Structure 1
């Protein structure tokens, strides 16, 4: 009996269908292949400049390292020290995408950077949006800068760092009747909002973070907000470049990754003979390398690379083997192998459901004259859709586990 699947398949957008038809009529299958590859990589070619500013010692450099997923001794990491280190603006490129740049700006209101010449010195008009960092109350200088940013009709976010210090201080200051971490966080957030409200910012976003533990507190919520508020044409660039463990970010990543599948499947259907790999027993070829590359991309996006798995196990206090067993990670890792992908291709060939993959797209018209083109398209689409769904489900389970573990952060 043919295998039935509950997986929902992605189809091409109307815009892509029109583009494919035009390109096919002008340049044939070669043009289709080249267009699909360019389209897939287009997010890497969009520049995004994010400014991080605040007073001396507030945690700007540490914040940049956290959001770039870097340790201070990693190549390309921001230098941190106990004394003032930011005397000029410094650029830090995202390790996975050099077109995303976080700029560490000097704080406003110092003897070197007074309000009257600050805007010109740090080239404020060059950034897409701004992150204002403080480790205590936000100052009048912070709010003056936010007002200048608002005049330019750009987005800004207030980030309160070092909240772990406030929580740990509770242990040192009280022997009994200690407040819970949730109570302390609520007090900090309320204090920040009251401070900003008094300075004229009633609707400001406030995010509480620990730069050394980006799993905790509001870091994921901040990631989600940054993605949502990014300029529309730059949203996917930030989404695919930034780490995010919250379910909202994971869901958004899945939506955008699904849009890639028809493009990759088309590329596999018209791939040059030299790049195609025969699938034993099917008499067809697919672009095996691009399937493996895309699955690797899924693992990177959902935090399931080998290094990510190791870090997650450590955070949850589990051995890697325990983590893999508890969340079924071993199952999809087996599918990620050459043997596993070939097995998926065989499943696709005999799946009645796979015939529906391209039923409502223009693909049959474009590939009807290409030997095995439609079969390769459906096979690739089935493999990637199945793998994306498996990896997504594991990622959601881990996210929910991590969220439940950090809701109750105990005070010893």
Structure 2
């Protein structure tokens, strides 16, 4: 078949970041010596790793700093929602409490008790919080970073973990300043607050501190995007991907990031489909292809926030009727995903018209000569790619309807290869 390649012609690309160079080399050598039987378990193991990788985020600071409110905001929940962290002006957390992401439970935010309270004096706190459990720490303060915050930061650094200073409730500070001053420049005031925090942290011996100013009631404002970028940059590839997929859909940029991460999965799912497709057992190829397609589309939909529960949470956050958000969704892929939906109509036409030339080989990290009869690989790759683009375009429209952003999804999302 067209598109067959020798086992020497493996390609590594940005889409292969889930694999280390060592793992890619192993895929090459295993296929060279043992063919499909050898590489199939390696690919299955990697897909399973993607689905099971955990990200544990510790949110700490003194009582009343806004830890629980921040955790709820990151999970698109509001105070009083089912599963929301309990908020209050007094210490409400008596022990480390995990709050899984509502749709991606492998991502868990941990609300740690406030340091320096009677229940948790600083020396006891450092012993009992099991710091090694967490991937990174967010230290939240609503006014100034205290001596206890600095002790925390130094202990976290000693353990080799990353930490980030977040100055919360910044919207309240700015509102107060506006009322007290005749002349007010928001950008200048934000810079003053940031510089003041940084200078005090430097004086206390924290090298090169970064301080992020946020409002948990409006994460689209201030430094929230900068905070996310810092968190992403310091996570290993798989954890970084999992973290990005769990971000709240606050703007179209975040949705686009999710599309790029999900694109990296497409070729792996297509590869598994192609491996099965090369097995000469009547009927097994179609059955497995459909299962992979259905599972992939449902996963994409969930990560992009197009399930009913996610749209409802976004509507609550944006204070918009849920019907307004659902009205802009123009794809049958948000309903029940069945084999019939995938194979009928335009989807069926897409399947029979696929050729190897439709996929640029430089974006497929590992295919070798595996798919000499590669119809299963090409079919699955084509359909999942199209479904991902269609779902992303709809997720962009939902975000725009929720927050009234000015960007146009059509400017950033490639057109789908089939009608909605």
Give the TM-score taking structure 1 as reference length. Answer: 0.75
1:365 corresponds to which of 365, 369, 377: 369
Q: Could you tell me how far 1:265 is from its partner in structure 2?
A: 1.2
Distance 1:186 1:80 in 2: 29
Counterpart of 1:6? none
Q: Which residue of 2 aligns with 1:78?
A: 85
| Unmatched 5+ stretches in structure 2 | 1-12, 408-420
Q: Deviation at 1:131?
A: 0.9
- Inter-CA distance 345–173: structure 2 relative to 1 (3 Å threshold): farther
For residue 91 of structure 1, give the secondary structure of its aligned residue in structure 2. Answer: strand
Q: CA deviation at 1:243?
A: 3.1
1:384, distance to aligned residue in structure 2 (A): 1.4
Q: CA deviation at 1:329?
A: 4.2
Distance across 2 between alignment mates of 1:316 and 1:49? 27
Determine if the alignment matches structure 1 residue 22 to structure 2 residue 26: no
- Matching of residue 226 in structure 1 with residue 231 in structure 2: yes
CA–CA separation in structure 2 for the residues paired with 1:262 and 1:299: 17
Q: Which moved more, 1:39-48 or 1:396-405?
A: 396-405
SS of corresponding position for 2:295? helix
Equivalent position of 2:130 in the other structure: 123
Question: What are the Cα deviations for residues 321-351 of structure 1, in whole angstroms up to 9, with x where unaligned?
Answer: 76678xx741585899656633234224325
Matched residue count: 382
1:230 alignment partner, SS class: coil
Distance 2:347 2:114 in 1: 54
1:403: Cα distance to partner?
A: 8.6
Structure 1 residue matching 2:370: 3-state secondary structure = helix
Where 2:212 maps in the other structure, the secondary structure is strand
C-alpha distance 182-274 of structure 1, shift in aligned 2 (>3 A): farther
How far, CA to CA, are the matches of 1:395 and 1:186 in structure 2? 34
What is the match of residue 378 of structure 2? 378
**2:4 is matched with which residue?**
none
Q: CA deviation at 1:382?
A: 0.9
The equivalent residue for 1:387 is 387
**d(CA) in 1 for partners of 2:386, 2:25:** 23
- Stretch deviating more after TM superposition (395-404 or 38-47): 395-404
* Equivalent residue, structure 2, for 1:341: 342
Report the Cα offset of residue 142 of structure 1. Answer: 1.0
**What are the superposed Cα offsets for residues 235-281 of structure 1, whole Å, 9 maximum, x if unpaired?**
3332333435456654543333222112211233316867765xxxx
Instruction: State the shift of 1:59 in Å.
Output: 0.9
Which sits farther off after the overlay, 83-92 or 393-402?
393-402
Q: 1:281 — aligned with what?
A: none
Decide whether aligned partners of structure 1 residues 247 and 150 sit closer, same or farther in structure 2, where only a CA change above 3 A counts.
Answer: farther
Aligned partner of 1:155 in structure 2 is: 162
State how far apart, in whole Å, the 2-side matches of 1:287 and 1:276 are: 6
Asked if 1 retains the 8 angstrom alpha-carbon contact of 2:136 and 2:161, the reply is yes
> Using a 3 Å threshold, how does the CA distance of structure 1 residues 70 and 312 change in structure 2: closer, same or farther?
closer
Q: Does the aligned pair in 2 maintain the 1:166–1:184 contact within 8 Å? A: no
Compared CA separation, residues 264 and 398, structure 1 to 2 (3 A): same
Alpha-carbon offset, residue 158 of structure 1: 0.8
Q: Deviations over 1:29-87 (max 9, x none)?
A: 6x766654442231233343322211111111222222233334344432222222223
Structure 2 CA distance for aligned equivalents of residues 155 and 319 of structure 1? 39
Aligned to 2:194: 189
Secondary structure at the counterpart of residue 216 of structure 2: coil
Between stretches 38-47 and 394-403, larger displacement belongs to: 394-403
Give me the whole-angstrom Cα distance separating, in 2, the residues matched to 1:45 and 1:188: 40
- Residue 265 of structure 1 corresponds to 270
